[in-house]
Amino acid sequence: MKLPDFPWDSLAEAKATAAAHPGGIVDLSVGTPVDPTPELIQRALQGASDAHGYPQVWGTPDLREAIAAWFARRRGATYVDPDGVLPTIGSKELVAWLPTLLGLGPGDEVGFPAVAYPTYDVGARLAGATPRPAQGLLEYGPKAPKLLWLNTPSNPTGAVLGLEHLKKVVAWARQHGVIVASDECYAELSWTSDEPTPSLLDDRVTGGDPTGLLAVYSMSKQSNLAGYRAAFVAGDPALVKQLVEIRKHAGMMVPWPVQRALLAAVGDDEHVAVQKSRYADRRTTLRTALEAAGWRIEHSDAGLYLWTTREEPCRDSVAALAQQGILVAPGDFYGAAGQRHVRIALTASDERIAAAAERLRA
């Protein structure tokens, strides 16, 4: 099995250039949260530090019920059955292992967007299946993939799939016997509405029937707890049961203190609103400065990134910004279709974002 080279290794030179800036580097190349984990979540973790027994792979019933309630409250999904919910060790592991856990292998195909988070491709390869990136469903023609990944809001582009689009995908998937998994971890960070972006499990999309559908969600970004590794998958109870069975054998379980922290996090919307407003300010500062400096921003309607172009090869854009002490991710990390864009993350302190804006204006 051939896995791609780890893409960030190719940024070493640009990183050294940016680090040599007299005002220090502004690293906007990764989406790692920089603000503190909210107190109520830290307290929940601390309160569960006596964890002498093994945790439940499937998650405790109260956690699964709280996640189902969160889907009803925040995602317009009132049919999520707590039996169809499973906590995961962050969502990257689920993305990387889902094809394997679903029993896919050689000869099977895994579909995902042409410009995408690299782990969909990695997951297909780990299973021995074939990665099949595509710009749209029509590209699949008569041979549909076994599993189709959606990512809304998208990393890296920030594009959001609307309800009508999601409904069409579900109708197509049901016609072709395709499992759809929708990775939705930036849903709360929507910039064009006060509401979260639509979910694959929204009642208006599923019509109350989650068969063949999974939504993948992570607390890493919205709740500043990427270090906890706290996420979940929900949807079709039969598929989730299959995942639980294998994960029991493989010891893939979320530690008990993290399950308790996750329970506290999904029950509280206030800290998410506070974090969203921090990112909104950083986004406005950065966006205004980039546009004034001649950069064009596409999509970026939600999520933690500005998908930006100066109509030149992305590596030239990375090098130019590195000269200003700003490190960003080249669009070609996310597929060949991204080769004229760069992805600029909002995940830096107010002070660093202000420094980047000042340098862009200079």
Ligand X SMILES: Cc1ncc(COP(=O)(O)O)c(C=O)c1O
The distance of Cα 335 from the centroid of its chain, to the nearest Å, equals 16
Which of 351, 346, 185, 225 shows the shortest CA–CA distance to 279?
A: 346
* In the complex, least distance from residue 36 CB atom to ligand X, rounded to whole angstroms: 17
* In the complex, least distance from residue 151 CB atom to ligand X, rounded to whole angstroms: 5
Indicate the residue among 159 and 318 with the shorter CB distance to ligand X: 159
Residues in the chain: 362
Beta bridge partners of 26: 326
Indicate the residue among 71 and 117 with the shorter CB distance to ligand X: 117
Which chain residues interact with ligand X by CB under 6 A? 31, 90-92, 95, 117, 151, 155, 183, 185, 218, 220, 226, 231
CA atoms within 13 A on the CB side of 219: 30
Other CB atoms within 10 A of residue 70 CB: 21
Indicate the residue among 185 and 327 with the shorter CB distance to ligand X: 185
CA atoms within 13 A on the CB side of 24: 8
Alpha carbon of 192 to those of 34, 217, 221, 280, 302: distances in Å?
A: 23, 20, 18, 11, 7
Indicate the residue among 87 and 325 with the shorter CB distance to ligand X: 87
Q: Are 64 and 262 in contact (CB under 8 A)?
A: no
* In the complex, least distance from residue 21 CB atom to ligand X, rounded to whole angstroms: 26
* In the complex, least distance from residue 95 CB atom to ligand X, rounded to whole angstroms: 6
* In the complex, least distance from residue 223 CB atom to ligand X, rounded to whole angstroms: 11
* Cis peptide bond upstream of 87, omega within 30: no
Q: How far apart are CA 204 and CA 208, in angstroms?
A: 8
Q: How far apart are CA 328 and CA 311, in angstroms?
A: 16
Indicate the residue among 119 and 285 with the shorter CB distance to ligand X: 119
* In the complex, least distance from residue 90 CB atom to ligand X, rounded to whole angstroms: 3
Indicate the residue among 31 and 55 with the shorter CB distance to ligand X: 31
Indicate the residue among 117 and 310 with the shorter CB distance to ligand X: 117
* In the complex, least distance from residue 220 CB atom to ligand X, rounded to whole angstroms: 3
> If you write DSSP's letter for every residue of 300-325 in order, what string do you get?
-SBSSEEEEE-SS-HHHHHHHHHHTT
Indicate the residue among 95 and 201 with the shorter CB distance to ligand X: 95
Structure tokens at 124: 């297909």
* In the complex, least distance from residue 18 CB atom to ligand X, rounded to whole angstroms: 21
Q: How far apart are CA 2 and CA 16, in angstroms?
A: 29
* In the complex, least distance from residue 132 CB atom to ligand X, rounded to whole angstroms: 18
Structure tokens at 267: 């029950």
* Buried b / exposed e along 257-278 (16+ C-beta atoms within 10 A): bbbbbbbbbbeeeebbeebbee
Indicate the residue among 264 and 357 with the shorter CB distance to ligand X: 264
Alpha helices by DSSP H, 51-131: 61-74, 92-101, 119-126
